[in-house]
A and B are shown apart, each in its own frame.
Chain A
Amino acid sequence: MFLRGIIFAALTLGAATTIRGATDEALDLESFRGKVVYLDFWASWCGPCRESFPWMNRIQSELADNGLVVIAVNVDRERAAAEQFLDSHPAQFRIVYDPQGKLPEKFGVRGMPTSFIIDRQGRVRSRHEGFFLKNRASLAQEVRALVLIR
């Protein structure tokens, strides 16, 4: 029932979510239909995010050709803090800035960091609260399974 709630939220979101990114590119989740999206919410002050970035870099480079798009939404109030984080943890994936927290609000984020795995039809297949070193392998398997099955 809870999952249905998320799926519903994601579907309604898909239609209306457009936010400005770093380079003024609008983030329209609808436009990613046909791709698997790994949507991550992060902040410069979030300790586990220092671990998630190298992992997201790896998974993005591994599966980019298979249609995986990693999108990391930053929720820092100060852009400078986010950029300082990116200086020491470079990202080879898409970064979107949401300082007012509209996206995490809509997705019902309950903890930092949180990631959502969205399939090619735009449905949220799973959410992961927190980023744990011990779960990196199983998380990668989950993403790979979704990307590689046709």
Chain B
Amino acid sequence: MAASCALLTQAARSQTAENSEQPLQLDSALLYYKENAGRVQAIEPVVSLKKDFGDLRVLDGTLTIDTLSGATPNGALPAHKAQTFVGPSSRSLTPKPGTKTTFYTASPGSLPEDPRFSETRVAGDVAWTQPLGLDDTVSFGGHGSVEGDFDSAALHGGLSHSFNEKNTTLSAQISEEYDRIQARGGNPVPGSDYELYEHEGSQSKTVSGALVGVTQVLARNWLMDLNYTYDHSSGYLTDPYRILSVLDGAGNVSGYRYENRPDTRGRQSLYWVNKVALGPTVLDISYRRSKDSWGIGSDTVEAHVRIDLRRGMYLEPHARWYHQSAADFYNLYVSAAGPLPTFMSADPRLAALVGTTFGLKFAVEAGHKGEFSLRLEQYQQRPHDQSSGLPELQGLDLNPTLKAVIVQLGWHFDF
């Protein structure tokens, strides 16, 4: 008896040496993103490693590096006259002696854009998942990112419980994020006059989120997931670089104001996804409805179809349709007449718009345990309000359609 016990413990020890089949997985991608008209361009390498410690205990780590360049609209409207703006980084609460003030000009008829110079962001994510008994899973993790004017740190945790022979799974997650905003040149006092240049020091915001979801197996080839998310942001939510044009009754520019957003924002989302396998083909169809306390409502419909090409290759076309309504305080410009609105923003991301995406991914097996992929996507965002009745704004594209292209190279490998 004792001899066989010893034999088994030895066997067990040697077994751990020849452990799990896939102990380490690498997922990597190189993203190239480019907008039209000399706007934002980004190159982003991402590397993700997943280590399986056996028995469903997994450690996940991701590193993302983002380098951004190109111009961003500053929120002011184009005009028939040239407009000059001060480059934000040359503005400072404590200007160094000898610092030159930089300016940028929008020629007549063109959209004022802040020509930012190269910015780099580094972000890291770590997550741990493990079972809790036979039917439950627990996970927790953290996220952090740093860039010139913005730092972020977040923690999240979640629990899921399966029942009904694992056909139904309930999930709950909470997350907490803390961000620090230190805009180049200082954080402007929201709503203040652009010329007066009222700035303040470092600002912060917090985002708390919660998610509850149910995943249900509907058939041998059909799985669905329904999630409800609520998140609440509070703090400095204004974009420190965006301004609004102050226009008189005819549409002439009489000045500019920094934007001013409320210091809280609550948002609810309902997300529903269905995955259906039809032979070797897999359909992924999702719908998301979102609404927030700023008055923005949105609908997103998205579909992916994975078409198996055999010999380890597949093609995956993708289509997405997105619609959002404008924020209550969104406006193309602010009127010089009458009192200033409490909250105001001309940020195109808060406008009524429709975004459409068409994409195609091609993947091929690389050796026994790897996969190479190429993904091409085209995104087009068309705002609803692109013109105005004001006489001085005639013939101007006040909010141009955005076009962006994504090229992504991917490599997956199982060690």
Interface residues of A (CB under 8 A from B): 47, 50-51, 54-55, 58, 62, 110-111, 129-130, 132-134, 136-137, 140-141, 144, 148
CB nearest neighbor in A for B21: A50
Given contacts A51-B20, A140-B8, 18 further A-B contacts (CB under 8 A): A50-B20, A51-B54, A55-B15, A62-B7, A111-B165, A132-B55, A133-B15, A133-B19, A133-B20, A133-B55, A134-B54, A136-B15, A137-B8, A137-B12, A141-B5, A144-B4, A144-B8, A148-B4
Partner of A129, one of B5, B19, B134: B134
B1–A130 CB distance below 8 A: no
What chain B residues lie within 8 Å of A55 (beta carbons)?
15
Interchain nearest-CB distance for B204 vs A (Å): 44
What chain B residues lie within 8 Å of A132 (beta carbons)?
55
What chain B residues lie within 8 Å of A130 (beta carbons)?
134
Interchain nearest-CB distance for A139 vs B (Å): 10
- List, sorted by A's number, 24 A–B pairs whose CB atoms are closer than 8 Å: A47-B21, A51-B54, A55-B15, A62-B4, A62-B7, A110-B165, A111-B134, A111-B166, A129-B134, A130-B134, A132-B55, A133-B20, A133-B54, A133-B55, A136-B12, A136-B15, A137-B8, A137-B9, A137-B12, A140-B8, A140-B12, A144-B8, A148-B1, A148-B4
A134–B21 CB distance below 8 A: no
CA A136 – CA B16 in complex, angstroms? 11
CA A58 – CA B12 in complex, angstroms? 10
What chain B residues lie within 8 Å of A58 (beta carbons)?
11
CA A17 – CA B144 in complex, angstroms? 58
CB nearest neighbor in B for A148: B1
CA A22 – CA B19 in complex, angstroms? 29
What chain A residues lie within 8 Å of B7 (beta carbons)?
62
Interchain nearest-CB distance for B278 vs A (Å): 16
What chain A residues lie within 8 Å of B16 (beta carbons)?
133
CA A18 – CA B222 in complex, angstroms? 33
CA A148 – CA B19 in complex, angstroms? 28
CA A62 – CA B166 in complex, angstroms? 35
Contact with A along B204-238 (1 / 0, CB 8 A): 00000000000000000000000000000000000
CB nearest neighbor in A for B20: A51
Contact with A along B1-45 (1 / 0, CB 8 A): 100110111011001101111000000000000000000000000
Interface residues of B (CB under 8 A from A): 1, 4-5, 7-9, 11-12, 15-16, 18-21, 54-55, 134, 165-166
A134–B55 CB distance below 8 A: yes
Interchain nearest-CB distance for B167 vs A (Å): 11
CA A140 – CA B15 in complex, angstroms? 13
What chain B residues lie within 8 Å of A140 (beta carbons)?
8, 12
Interchain nearest-CB distance for B20 vs A (Å): 7
Interchain nearest-CB distance for B55 vs A (Å): 5
Interchain nearest-CB distance for A111 vs B (Å): 7
What chain A residues lie within 8 Å of B165 (beta carbons)?
110-111
CB nearest neighbor in A for B165: A110
CA A47 – CA B57 in complex, angstroms? 13
CA A148 – CA B166 in complex, angstroms? 36
CA A8 – CA B15 in complex, angstroms? 36
What chain A residues lie within 8 Å of B54 (beta carbons)?
51, 133-134
CA A5 – CA B361 in complex, angstroms? 52
What chain B residues lie within 8 Å of A136 (beta carbons)?
12, 15
CA A130 – CA B135 in complex, angstroms? 11
CB nearest neighbor in B for A135: B55
CA A62 – CA B1 in complex, angstroms? 12
CA A110 – CA B135 in complex, angstroms? 11
What chain A residues lie within 8 Å of B19 (beta carbons)?
133
What chain A residues lie within 8 Å of B134 (beta carbons)?
111, 129-130
Smallest CB-CB A-B distances: 6 pairs? A133-B54, A132-B55, A137-B12, A50-B21, A140-B8, A133-B55
What chain B residues lie within 8 Å of A51 (beta carbons)?
20, 54
What chain B residues lie within 8 Å of A50 (beta carbons)?
20-21
CB nearest neighbor in A for B1: A148
B55–A54 CB distance below 8 A: no
Interchain nearest-CB distance for A15 vs B (Å): 27
CA A111 – CA B8 in complex, angstroms? 27
What chain A residues lie within 8 Å of B166 (beta carbons)?
111
Interchain nearest-CB distance for A112 vs B (Å): 9
CA A111 – CA B12 in complex, angstroms? 25
Interchain nearest-CB distance for B327 vs A (Å): 47
CA A133 – CA B16 in complex, angstroms? 8
CA A135 – CA B21 in complex, angstroms? 18
CB nearest neighbor in A for B54: A133
Interchain nearest-CB distance for B12 vs A (Å): 5
Most buried by B among A58, A111, A133, A148: A133
CB nearest neighbor in B for A109: B165
B55–A141 CB distance below 8 A: no
CA A47 – CA B56 in complex, angstroms? 10
A141–B15 CB distance below 8 A: no
CA A47 – CA B134 in complex, angstroms? 15
What chain B residues lie within 8 Å of A134 (beta carbons)?
54-55
CB nearest neighbor in B for A145: B1
CA A133 – CA B1 in complex, angstroms? 23
What chain B residues lie within 8 Å of A62 (beta carbons)?
4, 7-8
